Structure 1
Amino acid sequence: MSDIDIAGILAEQEPLARSIAKAKKVAFEISKDDMLLDFFVRAVFPTDHPKAIEAYFTGGEDCAKRFANLCREHLLSDPSSVLEFASGYGRVARYATQVLPDAAWVSSDVHPNAIEFLSNKIGVRAHLSSTKPEDWSIDNEFDAVFALSFFSHMPDATFAPWLSRVFTAVKPGGILIFTTHGAVSLRNMRAGGLSAQFDDTGFYWNSNSDQRDLDARDYGTSAVSLGYVQKAISGIEGAELIRFQQAFWWGHQDLYIVRKLNQ
């Protein structure tokens, strides 16, 4: 895989980033360590770096707005507290005050550099995560917990444990919103030449991902059926699946919303 000078691209495209960010009233900085931008440059817009920058900002805004609208629909009001789990370097979090101005927003990620960037450049509280669910905890509970495209990368061994662990951060009456690769994602993978099928449990796995710095045993590419997720949720006390929508996110990732019942 050829080296790409992300820092150089960011320096070259800084005027564009500043212009977009000013119009959207958000932070303009993008970390050179941001693997999502790296993916855009390598795989999506390899010959059009301005398009990669534009997609980074507009996609983050769209995700933030979708999340806020889902909160309003299923909580019936704006949440007062939000945890964005596996947040990366703030592609979504930079829009926190735009979409949910009254919410106390906390981001959690496994990369120490992301925690520093989120705190110093994006301006949100940041909490270091872990590669193992049993090692992760957070002191607060939140009205809404958001895990966008995290469970789409978990291996079978940690999918249910991570789901259970992240759910501990939801307040009674609150919701967990997360996405997975599903049947539409698998169809797209097959169209791209992969032999991608669910196994008997409704699970699919390969070791490739956009996060090249993480161990493939901990973070690759998975896809799951509705039945697989329902089984994982059934093992969590107080968890109620209140919404499933196939291919809701980006036209292929499935949406799940789980409410924590008042005990």
Structure 2
Amino acid sequence: MDIDIPGLLLATETMAQSIAMTKGVSPRISKDDMLFDFLVRAVFTTDQKKAVEAYFNGGEDCANRFAALVHEYFPSGPKNVLEFASGYGRVTRYARKVLPRTEWMCSDIHPQAIAFLSDELGMPGAVSSTDPARWSIATSFDVVFALSFFSHTPDKTFAAWVARLFSAVAPGGLLIFTTHGAVSLAHMRANGRQDEFDHRGYYWNSNSDQRDLNPEEYGTSAVTLPYVQSAVAPLNGAELIRFQQGFWWGHQDLYVVRKPKVA
């Protein structure tokens, strides 16, 4: 389907400005934002203007949910957060609003997304990689947050990415991430797919909301709790302190992994 995303953004610019003003965030949506593209092409196909409202409302809901979650573990708020696979800032634009005393950094596979976050949102960032062995970051963080990244990660890099992101967590800090799980897979079957976990508790197909990425490196995955436990178990001192089925959007599972404090 041929859709003029820049034209749609121009036509809805006043609407976006009005919504963003009430929320106290930037009104800018990048023309390259594949999540917005997905909302337009796959979700709001009969009324594309609703994608703008959903973009801002959904980002705000995720930011509020994340802030409430981290305050359970850091009542005064974490010192710093790394948002991994941050995209073009659907959630990031609310960072200073929901966690005003927290330093926030982003990482994403798209260099143009990191540039947009810096230029439009004033948010520091670093380009990531398809290969976890080639990704590193100098700073350690109270919280490393990966929303709906592991719901698209192939089996060959899943455990390696868990380990690599955990390495960026400061002592006493948390790795927080979501995955598709049993609830998500049930939704897929309800839509006519014949989808099941394999013997390891892993499922994969090559479809995703990111049309510009290699479908063999970024598709749609779903995992069970034992599968994630097997990825966390080899990590020195890692403690899976929370698993909550269907926590995010009513279908993605939540995982919270804690790194021990230095003795």
Query: If the TM-score is normalised by the length of the shorter chain, which range does it land in?
Result: over 0.9
1:109 CA drift (Å): 0.3
Once residues 259 and 198 of structure 2 are traced to their aligned partners in structure 1, the CA distance between those partners, rounded to angstroms, is 29
Once residues 162 and 119 of structure 2 are traced to their aligned partners in structure 1, the CA distance between those partners, rounded to angstroms, is 29
Q: Within 5 A, what are the aligned runs for 1:172-191?
A: 172-191=171-190
Residue identity matched to 1:111 = H
Structure 2 partner of 1:82: 81
Structure 2 partner of 1:9: 8
Structure 2 partner of 1:140: 139
Once residues 160 and 77 of structure 1 are traced to their aligned partners in structure 2, the CA distance between those partners, rounded to angstroms, is 31
Structure 1 partner of 2:148: 149
Q: Is the 8 A contact 1:75 1:174 kept in 2?
A: no
Q: Is the 8 A contact 1:238 1:262 kept in 2?
A: no
Once residues 80 and 50 of structure 1 are traced to their aligned partners in structure 2, the CA distance between those partners, rounded to angstroms, is 37
Q: Within 5 A, what are the aligned runs for 1:65-76?
A: 65-76=64-75
Q: Within 5 A, what are the aligned runs for 1:96-107?
A: 96-107=95-106
1:116 CA drift (Å): 0.5
Structure 2 partner of 1:209: 208
Deviations 1:207-262 (A, max 9, x none): 00000100011100000000000110001112101110000000000000011112
SS class of match (2:49): helix
Question: CA RMSD for the aligned pairs?
Answer: 0.7
Structure 2 partner of 1:233: 232
Q: What fraction of aligned residue pairs are identical, expressed as a percent?
A: 64
Structure 2 partner of 1:192: 191
Once residues 208 and 31 of structure 1 are traced to their aligned partners in structure 2, the CA distance between those partners, rounded to angstroms, is 22
Structure 1 partner of 2:248: 249
Once residues 50 and 239 of structure 2 are traced to their aligned partners in structure 1, the CA distance between those partners, rounded to angstroms, is 40
Structure 1 segments of 4+ aligned residues over 4 angstroms from their partners: none
Structure 1 partner of 2:219: 220
The TM-score normalised by the length of structure 2 is 0.98
1:50 CA drift (Å): 2.2
Gaps of 5+ in 2: none
SS class of match (2:55): helix
1:80 CA drift (Å): 1.1
Q: Does 1:91 align with 2:78?
A: no
Once residues 120 and 159 of structure 1 are traced to their aligned partners in structure 2, the CA distance between those partners, rounded to angstroms, is 31
Once residues 223 and 76 of structure 2 are traced to their aligned partners in structure 1, the CA distance between those partners, rounded to angstroms, is 31
Task: Give the total of aligned pairs.
Answer: 262
Once residues 49 and 14 of structure 1 are traced to their aligned partners in structure 2, the CA distance between those partners, rounded to angstroms, is 13
SS class of match (1:98): helix
Once residues 131 and 5 of structure 1 are traced to their aligned partners in structure 2, the CA distance between those partners, rounded to angstroms, is 29
Q: Is the 8 A contact 1:181 1:224 kept in 2?
A: yes
Deviations 1:115-162 (A, max 9, x none): 100000011111110111000000000011110000000010000000
Q: Does 1:164 align with 2:136?
A: no
Once residues 49 and 42 of structure 2 are traced to their aligned partners in structure 1, the CA distance between those partners, rounded to angstroms, is 14
Q: Is the 8 A contact 1:27 1:122 kept in 2?
A: yes
Q: Is the 8 A contact 1:71 1:77 kept in 2?
A: no
Structure 1 partner of 2:117: 118
Residue identity matched to 2:143 = A
Once residues 189 and 254 of structure 1 are traced to their aligned partners in structure 2, the CA distance between those partners, rounded to angstroms, is 15
Structure 1 partner of 2:37: 38
SS class of match (2:151): helix
